[in-house]
Every structure is written in C-alpha cells, then in structure tokens.
Chains A and B, each alone.
Chain A
C-alpha cells in the first residue's frame, strides 16, 4: 500500500462519530480547571513570596521593639529574598510559553523556562540560603558575644545553633538538587530532543 492509499484511508475516517459531549458540563469543567490552575499558581506565589515578606515584617517589628539591630539584618534578608522571588516571577511570567505559538517557539520558551528553574534551584544557596545564613550567623554570634559571661555554655549554644543551621541548609540544598535531577533534567533533555528534531 503506497502513501497515497494510506492518506486516502486516513482521510476517510470520521473521528467525531463516537464522541458525545455535553457542552454545558464541559464548559463548567473547563472553567473550574482554569480557576483551579490560577488558584494553584496564585497561592504558590503567595506562599513563597509571602513567607519571605512576612519574615521580613516580623524581624522588623522585633528589631524596633527590642532595639536589636541584628533583627534588622534578618528583616533585610527576608525582604531581599522576597523581592528577588517577586521580580523573578514577574520577569518569567512574560516569557511563559504560549500554547498557540508555533511548536518550535513554544518548545524554545519551555526550554528557557526549564533552564531558568534549574539555574534557580542549583543556585538556591546564593539567592535564598546565604542572605538568611549571613544574617542568622551575625545574629547568633552577636548574642553569644553578649552572653560570653556564661563561658563554655555560650560556646556550646553557638556550636549547636550553627550545626542546626548547617543541617537544615544541607537538607534544603539536597532537596533542590534532587528536584533538578529527578524532574527538571529529564524534562530539559526531552525538550532538547524535540528541538533537535526541528533543526
């Protein structure tokens, strides 16, 4: 059977024949799905950006109430991280792949987005962990210095605090690396293959 015969057979199909759609229910479902999707994105942003900004406000309040300048450092770190995430979200939102773009353009923008996510997660230490770590380190060291009269006990508290921070940070760092390896790298590979097929 040559290709023309295959094409003839293909075009003879009536693919809509066995589809029964309740359009009203479908519209309700489509609207519900769209609302759900928007809500998911909105609450993800609120959660991530909001927590950082709330932390900033909390430490700002504590700093003003207790006249403790180390709290201002923590507030600054929270504010910096929150602003970074907010600006990043806004910039990335503009580059979001659009489903009615030509296939190649859609794959390219998806690839850019995945690459950006990988960059963010791989560099989470620099833009998320380090600002808080620096502020926390200074804050804890300052408190320890003030409590130096307690002697050895102050040193032990400082060491334990530092260890807890290092452990938590290592956990966050590992989780991010895992996410990159498990889902983002395969997705990048998949998109690169698709793009290679179009070049």
Chain B
C-alpha cells in the first residue's frame, strides 16, 4: 500500500563527515545539502539539469545534485565545494581558477570547479577538447569559458589529485 508519509533514513558522508538524515524520498540531493546541511556553496541555477551550477561529486564523480535524489546518495560519499578546502587552503583546482581568472560573477564557479575536479582526477591527457567536452554540462552566463578552460588545463598540469577531491 502507498503511504505518502514515507520517509527514508540515510547515511551519507558529506565532505568527510558522516551525516544521518531522515528524508522524504523526493528530497533532492541539492536540497539536502543546502537546506538541511546549510552547505549553500552548491548553487541552484536552472533546476532542470542543464546549467551544472549544482554539480557535486558522488563517490568522486561529478553529478548534478538537482537531478539526484538524496536517497541515491545513501551510503555514499558526497563532496561539495566546501569540502575542497576544509582547512582554508585552496584545492589545486580552486587555486588554478584564482590564478587564471577562471571566474567572473562566480555563480557557476562551484559547479564548474567540481566538474573540473572530476576531469582532472579521472581523465588522462586533458586536452582543451577534452576539457571543453567535459564541461559541456556547465554554463557560464558571463561566457568566461576561455579562462575556465585555461584554469582546468593549469590544474591538470599542476599535478594529480586523489580520489576524494583533495591533494
């Protein structure tokens, strides 16, 4: 029988910390992060899986958290932009964006950086073409793509990072 009041208990490791929550199945991952955990670095742009502003890492791979149910992250590891610099020291990809003017207004930046971390960690020989293909799901309304691509290339050149998004 259907019970509209169904909730699900879940455990997620968010930015290295174990989080337990009781949520309705329809709660989106982005809403778990922003509304329940206060991690508002993950932005909601289009809310339709187009713009990529909500990109986070799920077990190390970039996903659009507006198109993932929180329950899908149960038992898994989520890394949001806040998890990249836990001690205040910029992650190499963040540093590369800083050094190469990889942001203008900054709205797309958290998603862009999380997408970039997935690329830098998992793709070998990150050519410009691979970078552009890899961030095709992230829109920058300032259209600052060239600097973004340069930032990601610089991060890749600066060295590999580990599977948790930290060097």
Asked if A pairs with B, the answer is no
Measured CB to CB, the residues of A under 8 A from B are none
Binding site for A on B (CB under 8 A): none
